[in-house]
Amino acid sequence: MKAVILAGGEGTRLRPLTCDLPKPLVPVCGKPVLFYILELLERSGCGSAAVAVRYKGEKIEAALGDGRYGKLRTFVSYEDEPLGTAGCVKKAAGDAGEPLVIISGDAMCDFDLAAIYERHIRSGASATIAVRSVDDPREYGLILGEKGEVTGFSEKPSFINCRSDLANTGIYVISPEIFELIEDGRPVDFAKDVFPEMLRRGMKLGYYEESGYWCDIGDIAAYKRCTADLIGGKIRAGLPEREQLPKNCAVSGESFVLKGAYISPKALAAGCSCIGAGAYISDGAKLHNAIVMDGAFVGEGVTLNDCIICANAKVGGGAAVYEGAVVGEGAVIGENAVVSGGVKIWTNKRIARGASVTADVKYGSAAVPEITEDGICGATNTVITPGFAVRAGCSAAKISETGIAVSCSEGEAAVCLKNAVLCGISSAGRGCYD
């Protein structure tokens, strides 16, 4: 079995999660969505998968590494200009002479792909669509059919016009003859172009109804729901390794703490919270249904209710982030600031101490330390980080004609920052003295 993974989506409705990440690399419980799909393909007996990329494709290629994921061999196909779902598959497939599994790299599912593939082979169809019954058909493109064969389509109908509840999941098995219907050099879509043309030509188009889990992580609400479903065991997928917490940690059984995270015994994580690797939850912090991604810092007495704190973001002591809010990667929320429900803070933005934020923050300066006559000021590990200290040392070396001596007060944080400054000085080729 061979597959093509569609991984070119920009994920505009998921921003700010996707400002610096392609949608397939958005982490669910610390693991990119794409990796869950790769694991599903491997379990289904797939030997190789082409990953069709466009938006920030170089990051996906870097994440795939040497082109092996377990027993699955992967390679990347770049889409220089938009080719549609069918066009990019044709480009990625090359001269494939056997049926291909087509699957989205940014939707979570646990379908039995081997069963869908076998059904396609037995039926003699030119293409087979995996479908799933849904509660609200108005949100989906639906297929109409009987006895496993598609007879028509219905796109997001009203309730009164619903004649089916079978949603097109975007998972297909196609035979090589389909490529004759895909014109080179222009965007071609399976659902809008190829499948209707098959019906007009009388080509056999089958469907296979699945009962497994399927969720297109198209917006923030769907992302949070999918995270809760994965933690709750509703998806047949492997979770990353958990952190072994001491018994005195106030973490509810439904919450998930990844290995490498730190949560203070004086903090509380309730509901279905998820805390990423390298995240730090300080004394007195209270989390409820909160997602805190890798490397994020949550200060003392912080309140996080049903919100998302992206990777490497900082939430200062006493601050509060409420329902549906998202704090983007690298953003800094000042001490005692309040981020209202539904507000989105874009990547690397800084919210002032004590501010009350009631509207999205997309523009403005990034979070930077204050440089005054008294020196460089900012909260340790929130604004003044080891990475910043390295850059400061490198900058100092550029304006010094002799060696530079660095001293510090007592304390682990001070020693850490001093060592980072020394590293920056020496990296620029200047002599340094401890």
* Cβ–Cβ under 8 Å, residues 383 and 376: no
To 5 degrees, how large is the angle CA 369–CA 375–CA 381?
40
**What's the distance, CA 166 to chain centroid?**
27
Distance of alpha carbon 17 from alpha carbon 229, whole angstroms: 19
pLDDT tens digit at each of 434 positions of the chain: 899 999 887 888 888 988 888 889 999 998 999 999 999 999 988 888 988 888 888 898 888 888 888 888 988 888 878 888 888 888 888 777 788 999 988 889 999 999 999 999 998 889 999 988 887 777 777 878 788 888 887 777 666 667 777 888 889 999 988 888 888 878 888 888 888 888 889 899 998 988 889 888 888 998 999 999 999 889 988 888 887 776 777 787 688 889 989 998 899 988 889 999 999 999 999 999 999 999 999 999 999 999 999 999 999 999 999 999 999 999 999 999 999 999 999 998 988 888 899 888 887 655 566 677 778 877 677 668 888 899 999 988 888 888 899 999 988 889 999 999 999 999 988 889 99
Torsion of CA 382, 388, 389, 392, to 10 degrees: -140
Quick one: tokens of 145?
């059919």
What Å distances lie between residue 74 and 5, 26, 119, 177, CA to CA? Answer: 10, 19, 25, 24
* Conformational region of residue 83, where left means phi above 0, alpha means psi within -120 to 50, and beta covers everything else: alpha
The DSSP code for 185 is T
pTM of the predicted model as reported, rounded to 2 decimal places: 0.80
Closest CA to 291 of 247, 253, 321: 321
Quick one: tokens of 81?
């200009």
